Amino acid sequence: DGGITQSPKYLFRKEGQNVTLSCEQNLNHDAMYWYRQDPGQGLRLIYYSQIVNDFQKGDIAEGYSVSREKKESFPLTVTSAQKNPTAFYLCASSKRGGVAANEQFFGPGTRLTVL
């Protein structure tokens, strides 16, 4: 079945450590997105990528990094510079970036807890 997979579902990290969240899609979508969700707040955009080897900062990119070496993969690294990394992270994809009104498909999410 086509879809988006994120792993792991739950992740625990010690303060000061970098950690990488995986996002893979087999929908042949060009655009991919990373969002962060905190209690009582709407999802916020961290990074997005419209095509391979290109990505752009979203609203809250500080303390995060991404890569887009393959169309199907868009890993997110939460670095030690991110001051409050405990959150729920969602990856999404859409068919085409840079054009109007694409439906976005979401992964199941990764819940990151920093101890």
Interface with another protein (CB under 8 A): 31, 33, 35, 40-45, 48, 50, 56, 58, 88, 90, 94, 96-109, 111
Which residue, 13 or 111, has its beta carbon nearer to another protein?
Answer: 111
CB of 50 to another protein, least distance (A): 7
CB of 16 to another protein, least distance (A): 26
CB of 84 to another protein, least distance (A): 18
Q: What is the residue-wise DSSP string for the chain?
A: ---EEEE-SEEEE-TT--EEEEEEE-S--SEEEEEEE-TTS--EEEEEESSTT--EE-TT-TTEEE--SBTTB--EEE-TT-S---EEEEEEEES-SSSS-PPPEE---EEEEE-
Which residue, 9 or 14, has its beta carbon nearer to another protein?
Answer: 9
Which residue, 81 or 108, has its beta carbon nearer to another protein?
Answer: 108
